[in-house]
Structure formats: structure tokens, C-alpha cells
A and B are shown apart, each in its own frame.
Chain A
């Protein structure tokens, strides 16, 4: 059973950088699939943040692209997210997930448990 575990600071100050890591177990990132970040503001719906392929190719939500970097470390079997210049609007539960691609169509078949990040001074 594939497992994903997101981790990182639970509190980030406004204007600083939010950094999260997702550790993957029971599956090698190098073997394929896409690896994504999705967030959910408190009491609200899901928003796709961005994605990385094991090759290193990235895909970003246009609304976050200027502040976002997603990277992969295949030696540690993990991928990471960095979001700069955060504001209170970035407060959310951040999920990492595995994305299956069907030639343009995709679903998220495995999800991590999520980690709450609060942006506050």
C-alpha cells in the first residue's frame, strides 16, 4: 500500500517561505507517476497547487506559479514544495498525493494525511 506523509512547520510568518516535504513509502518515485500538492483552506474546498514528474518536469497552478517551486529527491524518495511571500490566504491543510495520468486525464489515487499550515505573525 503506497503511503505519503507530509511534514513541515505548522506556523509560518507573513512574507516568509512555506516549505513542506512529502515522504513516499512502498513505492519508488523513480518508477513513475506524478506527485502533486493540493491544499484545503479551513472549511473550504480543494485547490490544486502543482505537480512534479519523477523526471523533474513540473506543472504549476497559474495563480501560484510566480511563488511556487516543487522539487523531487529520488534518493530520499520524497518531493518538496516551497511557496514564497506567504499571506494569510495561504493558510490551509496541505496534502501530497500521487497522480495517475491517462494521457491528459488524471486522478489522485493515493493521498497523504495532510498537514495544517497557519500563516500568522
Chain B
């Protein structure tokens, strides 16, 4: 069981909006430590998608956005596209375990 909890899967039709949650505790997200998000396309390495809660690296479409409140964080994807189908992971620091990841959420584009 991961320190950061994510739903195993979410789904949406092309053009729709989906939200992926990441729930932690007072020893990580609520400490407060930043949350980062990664996209892992099938058979590839993870790619940094959102850093420091809400910042997009160069080249990441503005359809992807992140937010954080209290002990939770969210990744929003608007205007869903087929190529967004991937696994998404949140990541933060935990005072007892060092750097921790969520269990991952599989995004299914219907």
C-alpha cells in the first residue's frame, strides 16, 4: 500500500476533463512538501509532467494542470486526447520514508 493514495484508474471520452487525486498525510503533502506528477506512456520511462504542485515543464501542454490543498493534490487534464492514455504518478517527500510515489492511476480514454 502506497503512502500516497491514488485511484487505480480513471476514464473519460475524448474532449472531456478528468481529475486524478493524490491523498497523503501530515508527514508528506501536508507537511507541507511539494507534489510532482509524472506521465508514463506504455513501455517508456516516466516523464515529469507537473512540478512543485502546479508548474509545467517546457513542452507540456496547458491541458495539464496541478493543484494542492492540505494533505491532497490533484492533476487535471482537459480536452482529453487518445495520446493521454497512460499511467500517472504523484510524488512527494515523506519525513519518515524519504521520497515517495503514489501507486499510480491508469487513464483510459474511451
Contact = CB atoms under 8 A, between A and B. Distances in A.
Interface in B45-100: 45-48, 51-52, 57, 89, 91, 93, 97-100
Nearest to A48: B99
B93 A46 contact: no
Contact of B51 (A47, A107, A112, A113): A107
A33 interface: no
Nearest to A62: B97
Interface of B: 2, 33-34, 36, 38, 44-48, 51-52, 57, 89, 91, 93, 97-104
A46 B99 CA distance: 11
Contacts of A114: 45
Given A45-B102, A48-B98, A105 B45 contact: no
Nearest to A93: B45
A107 B45 contact: no
A88 to B, nearest CB: 20
A46 B89 contact: yes
Nearest to B37: A107
Given A105-B33, A111-B47, A48 B52 contact: no
Contacts of A113: 44-45
A105 B34 contact: yes
Given A105-B33, A105-B34, A45 B48 contact: no
A99 B10 CA distance: 28
Contacts of B45: 95, 111-114
A100 to B, nearest CB: 8
Given A45-B102, A45-B104, A61-B98, A108 B48 contact: yes
A15 to B, nearest CB: 26
Of listed A51, A106, A112, residue having the most chain B CB within 10 A: A106
Contact of B91 (A51, A59, A108): A108
A108 to B, nearest CB: 6
A109 B51 contact: yes
